[in-house]
Amino acid sequence: MRHPRWRRGLINARQTRTASGRRWSSRVLHRVNEATAHSTTGVVAALAILGWVVYGFVAAFPAWWDNVLYITSSTITLLMVFAIQHTQARQQTAVQRKLDEILHALPHADDRLIAVEEAPDAELEALATLDLLEREEAVQTRGALEHCADPHG
């Protein structure tokens, strides 16, 4: 029986519970993503925009008003793109490793699928076609089984 990878020493169980194994930049981007994921952040942003528009009306929209708005919104947008991209890439990598471990652990699984991301496009298309044919066959088999099990049919 194979032991999970964390028991084999590939993943330190303590590291998975703390941020000590990640770079500081990764931790910062995750904190930004966590902070902006709360509904309170959306309400605060909406109130800030409303306040900015009201200030514009009161101050008769000075020349610098729109420049500050463009610079601020561009900066926040750029930061959020990097935070979201980093977080999604990290989560996708973690999920992929979990799926690889499941494939590796199942006795009848095709271990070649672990590296399918690196396969040429033609091979991916061939696998998709094969999977589609297997799905169609399963549907037909299930339909035949349901027909046999139907006492009124």
The predicted-structure confidence for 10-19, as pLDDT tens digits, reads as follows 555 444 445 4
Tell me what pLDDT residue 98 has: 93
Residues 27 and 101 in one domain: yes
> Which segments of the chain have a pLDDT < 50?
1, 6, 13-17, 19
Residue 27 lies in a domain: yes
Distance CA 102, CA 5 (A): 11
Cβ distance 70 to 10 under 8 Å? no
Cut 0.75: pTM above it:
no
Tell me what pLDDT residue 95 has: 93
Tell me what pLDDT residue 132 has: 87
For residue 51, give both structure tokens: 């306040």
Residues 54 and 68 in one domain: yes
Residue 82 lies in a domain: yes
Domain that holds residue 70: 13-115
Number of domains in the chain: 2
Residue 1 lies in a domain: no
Tell me what pLDDT residue 72 has: 93
Tell me what pLDDT residue 26 has: 86
Tell me what pLDDT residue 3 has: 52
Model confidence pLDDT, tens digit, residues 42-75: 999 999 999 999 999 999 999 998 899 899 999 9
Cβ distance 84 to 36 under 8 Å? no
Tell me what pLDDT residue 84 has: 92
Residues 111 and 128 in one domain: no
Residue 2 lies in a domain: no
